[in-house]
Structures are given as C-alpha cells and as structure tokens.
Structure 1
Amino acid sequence: MGYIIEMIETQEQPTLVLKTVTPVSELPKILGKAFMDIVTHIMELGEQPVGPAFVGYFNMDMEHLQLEIGFPVSKPLPGKGDILPGSIPAGKQVTCMYKGPYMEMPPAYAEIKQWIEEKGYTPIGTVYEHYYNSPDEVPESELLTKIVFLLE
C-alpha cells in the first residue's frame, strides 16, 4: 500500500498506565474506561497528557493480550490504585502513521515487519499504537493511529 515508515531515536517517555490481560473482543469496552480513568487522574494531579492515548501490546495472543493502556506525561507522576507510573523506553523505534479502520491494520503491520527485516533491525516484541482520534469523533476511514515497533 505504500506506507511511510521511518526509524527514529527517542528519549524515555514517562507515562501513566493501566496494565491488563484481555481478549481482543473486550478491547473496545476496556479502552474507553481506562483512558477516562487515567486522564481524570492526570488532571487531578494538575497535569495534562503530553501526547495521544496509546496501547502497548506485549504479545499478539488475541485471547490473552498483555496490554499497557496509557498516556504520555511531562514527568514521572505518582499512580493511584490500578494506575501505575511507567515509561516508553528510550531507543530506536520504527514508526508508521496509519489512516483507516482499526480492523484493517494488518497490511500496515505486515509492511512494517517487512521493512524492519529488510533493513536488518530486530524488534524487541513490544508494539505501541498511539491514537490521534477516536471512533466517537470521526468516521472509521479517518482514524489516525501511529504504529510503533521498539527495536533492539
């Protein structure tokens, strides 16, 4: 399809997250509440997210997805209850901005994986999706998601 794929180097990014394990079918239910709870906590601390909501995928087992749901923040902040301080590690990342329905993302993932292999990089297994808008705000065809593979 001709996605724009780039390799970048980033600094560690502080986050506030909720960690969970869930089947993919439960994601829509879980994400909305988690995003709201985290934003509420960030605002209670007198802070604002410094970027879009994200989900970190630590495996691709569709029945037992290991997830980290969160927001980037300007500095390490204290957690509360299930909300934990975390970070996206510094290092090399391969990124691709995807536009369209979430269910039609597999070709973008395939192209990114092929690009990584052709360039001789090794992914560490964690993939992040950063959500720049939501199905509540725009039609599915207009959804913007940055896909990020962390590299060794």
Structure 2
Amino acid sequence: MGYVIEMIETEEQPTLIMKAITPVGDLPKILGKAFGDIIGYIMELGEQPIGPAFVGYFNMDMEKLEVEIGFPVSKELPGKGEILAGHIPAGKQVTCMYKGPYMEMPPAYEAITDWMKENGHTPKGVVYEFYYNSPEEVPESELLTKIVFLVA
C-alpha cells in the first residue's frame, strides 16, 4: 500500500492531557475514560477542542506503555486533578494519514521510518496518533488516523 508522507513545520500546540503507564491491552478502556473526562472538562471551561483526540506514545514497551492522552485546544488552559495543561512541541513533523484497522498500522510506521531514513531525519522521541473517528462511529476499514513523528 502506498502512503502519502509529508514533512511539515508547526507552532507549539496547547493541549489538555492525561498521562498513563499501562499494558497495551488496557489501552482502549483507559483511552475511553480519559477522552470522556478531558472533553467534559473542556466543555466545563466553556471551550471546545480544536482538533481530533490524540495519544502521544513515549515508548513502545507493550507491558508498560507510557502515553499522553488528550485534545488540542485553542489556548493555554488550566489543568484540574489528573487533567494537565500540556503542549505538542513546535518544530518539524513527519506525518502520514492512515486508513484502516488500528492493528494493521505497522506497515504505515515502517513506511514512515524508511522515509525518514532516506531523507535524513531523526525521530525525537514522542510519536502521536490523531484519531479522526472511532470504531463506535465507522467500520474498522474506515478508521482515519494521522501518525506524527517529531523529528530533528
């Protein structure tokens, strides 16, 4: 499958997030609760997210996956309890829009990694996935996920 991979440069993006360390099998349950809690708090503040839900992956340890779960917001907003003010750093990003089941994403990641090597870019740690829809809304084959690597 061919993937459209792009290099973009972005400004710092304010976010509201929750952090977790979890086995990958527990991720769907944790994400559902976190997304609901964060959306509820954003609405409580009288605000709206300005983009899709995301997860930042800080490692790939499937037993102790370290993640940041959140939404981009229009300006710095205060945290509350487990909900923290955060940001996605400014800088260069390599992005790819993926369509299909989450479990079939590895080839897209391989294509992005190959593209970065071929073009002389080094990943800077966090990898983000932005979820434009969910399995509750569409069949798995229609899921849209933007994969974003921060790069040097």
TM bucket (normalised to shorter chain) is: over 0.9
1:70-107 CA-to-partner distances (Å, cap 9, x unmatched) read 00000000011100000000000000000000000000
Q: Whole-Å Cα distance in 1 between the matches of residues 16 and 125 of structure 2? A: 21
1:119 equivalent to 2:122? Answer: no
Q: Whole-Å Cα distance in 1 between the matches of residues 59 and 45 of structure 2? A: 31
The corresponding residue for 1:89 is 89
Where does structure 1 lack aligned partners over 5 or more consecutive residues? none
Quote the sequence identity (%).
78
Structure 1 position 150, deviation (Å) = 0.2
The corresponding residue for 1:40 is 40
Off by >4 Å, runs of 4+ in structure 1: none
The corresponding residue for 1:18 is 18
Give the paired residue count: 152
Q: Whole-Å Cα distance in 2 between the matches of residues 114 and 126 of structure 1? A: 17
Task: State the secondary structure of the residue aligned to 2:31.
Answer: helix
Task: State the secondary structure of the residue aligned to 1:113.
Answer: helix
Task: State the secondary structure of the residue aligned to 1:6.
Answer: strand
Q: TM-score, normalized by length of structure 1?
A: 0.99
Structure 1 position 15, deviation (Å) = 0.1
Task: State the secondary structure of the residue aligned to 2:116.
Answer: helix
Task: State the secondary structure of the residue aligned to 1:33.
Answer: helix
Q: CA RMSD in A?
A: 0.4
Task: State the secondary structure of the residue aligned to 1:79.
Answer: coil
1:4-55 CA-to-partner distances (Å, cap 9, x unmatched) read 0000000000000000100110011100110000000000000000000000
Q: Whole-Å Cα distance in 2 between the matches of residues 140 and 74 of structure 1? A: 30
Where does structure 2 lack aligned partners over 5 or more consecutive residues? none
Q: Whole-Å Cα distance in 1 between the matches of residues 82 and 125 of structure 2? A: 24
Q: TM-score, normalized by length of structure 2?
A: 0.99
1:53 equivalent to 2:53? Answer: yes
Q: Whole-Å Cα distance in 2 between the matches of residues 3 and 63 of structure 1? A: 29
Task: State the secondary structure of the residue aligned to 1:125.
Answer: strand
1:9 equivalent to 2:9? Answer: yes
Q: Whole-Å Cα distance in 1 between the matches of residues 20 and 82 of structure 2? A: 10
Structure 1 position 125, deviation (Å) = 1.6
